[in-house]
Amino acid sequence: MIEKVLAIETSCDDTSVAIVDKTGHVISLVSASQDLAHEPYGGIVPEIASRNHSVQLLPLIDQAFIKAQLKWEDVQGLAVTNRPGLVGALIVGLVTAKSLSQAKGVPFIGVNHLEGHLLAPFLKDNDYAPPQDFQYPYIALAVSGGHTSIYRIKKFGHYEVLGSTKDDAVGEAFDKFAKMVGLGFPGGVRVDQWAKKGNPKSFEFPRSMINDDTLNMSFSGLKSAAARTVQELGPEKVQEHLADLCASFQEAIVDVLLSKLDFALKKYQLKRMIVTGGVSANSRLREKAFQLAEQKKYQVVIPPIRYCTDNAAMIGYVGIQRMNLGEFSDLTLPPFPQALSSDFKVLP
C-alpha cells in the first residue's frame, strides 16, 4: 500500500508540488505563479511557461519536503500530470518525475489533470475538510482557462462528459473580455474584483443556449456582444462604466453555468454538485451556487481556492488512488496535449 506520494503539476503556467497521503490529506502544497512573467504579453507564452517550470520545479520539490517535515524515504510514489496541457510545460514535469523515479527507486504514474479537478473537493488539510457526508455520485462543473464541461461522477475512475462548451472556455472568455476593457492579464480575477462594484443589470448580454435541452454551452456570442458594446462605448466610456460592464458580463456567464448545473442535477436526479477549476474562484459564481443549493436543497462543495486553481495536491490524490489499485506508468509514457478518449465516457 502506498501511504504518501510526491505530486508534480506543470501543465500550464503554475508550477506546483505537493505531498499527499492516501486519504487525500495534503501534507504540503507549494506553488509558484508565473503571472508576472506572462503579464507583459497579455497571455500565457508556452516557451516562457516551460522555462519557468524548469527553473522553479526542483527548488519547489525541496520546499515541499521541508514544509511537510518529510524525506524522500517517506514517500512511496510520484504522481505527475501528463495530460492535457501545453506539451512543453508537461515535458518538464514528466521528465523530472521519470528521473526522480529512477534515482530514488519509487514508482510513478501519469495523471489526467482534469481528473484532478474533478476529485479536488475530497482534498483536506489542517484548515479544511469537505462535509463528512459528501460522496459519490455527484455532478461536477469544471471551469478553467482551457475547459468548460459538466460531468457525472459515479465513482472513482468513472466520469461521464454530459456537456461542454462548443467554443470558448469560460476562463478564456473572462481573459479575452478583460483584455478588451483594458484590464490585462490575468483577467478573470480582475473582472471579478471590478464586478463587485458594478450593477449586473446595466448591460444586456446574451445567455446563449441557456434554455436548450442539452448540457452544452457557448460563450463566443457573449464575447462578440461584449466586443460590440466596448467598441460602441469607446475607451473613455468603457472606463467610466467598467464596473457595470464587468458585472454584466460576469452575470451572463454565471447565469448560464448555474442554469446548466441545475438542469444536469434534475436530469440525472442527483442532489450533490461540485464546482471546480480556476474559474470556480469567481466570487459571484460561488455566491450564486450556494444560493441555488439552498433554494433547491442541493449539497454543493466548492473547494478552497488553493484546490480550485491548478495545484499538485489534486494530482497526488488521483495518482495515489490509482497506484493503490495497481496502476503505474513506465518510462515510455509521453505527454499528451489532450485528455485521452479512455479518460471519459462521452454520452451520445
Which residues of this chain interact with ligand KG4, rule CB under 6 A?
12, 144-146, 171, 174-175, 186-189, 192, 277-279, 281-282, 309-310
Report if residue 144 touches Zn ion, rule: CB under 5 A: yes
Judged by beta carbon, residue 77 or residue 187, the one nearer ligand KG4 is 187
Q: Candidates 43-51, 198-206, 223-231, 308-316: pick the segment binding Zn ion (CB under 5 A).
A: 308-316
Judged by beta carbon, residue 98 or residue 147, the one nearer ligand KG4 is 147
State how far the alpha carbon of 342 is from the alpha carbons of 7, 9, 66, 118, 136, in Å: 22, 21, 37, 16, 20
Closest approach of ligand KG4 to the CB of residue 82, in Å: 14
Alpha carbons within 13 angstroms on the beta-carbon side of residue 216 total 10
199, 246 in Cβ contact below 8 A?
no
State how far the alpha carbon of 327 is from the alpha carbons of 36, 302, 312, 318, 323, in Å: 38, 29, 19, 11, 5
DSSP state of 206: -
Q: Candidates 125-133, 265-273, 290-298, 309-317: pick the segment binding Zn ion (CB under 5 A).
A: 309-317
The DSSP H or E segment spanning 272 is: strand 272-276
Q: Which of 80, 310, 311, 344 binds Zn ion (CB under 5 A)?
A: 310
Cell representation of residue 288:
450564486
Q: Candidates 44-52, 70-78, 227-235, 302-310: pick the segment binding Zn ion (CB under 5 A).
A: 302-310
Binding partner selected for residue 198 from ligand KG4, Zn ion, none, CB under the kind-specific 5 to 8 Å limit: none
The Cα 311–Cα 320 span in angstroms is 15
98, 106 in Cβ contact below 8 A?
no
Report if residue 13 touches Zn ion, rule: CB under 5 A: no
Judged by beta carbon, residue 8 or residue 68, the one nearer Zn ion is 8
Binding partner selected for residue 309 from ligand KG4, Zn ion, none, CB under the kind-specific 5 to 8 Å limit: ligand KG4
Binding stretches for Zn ion (CB under 5 A): 144, 310
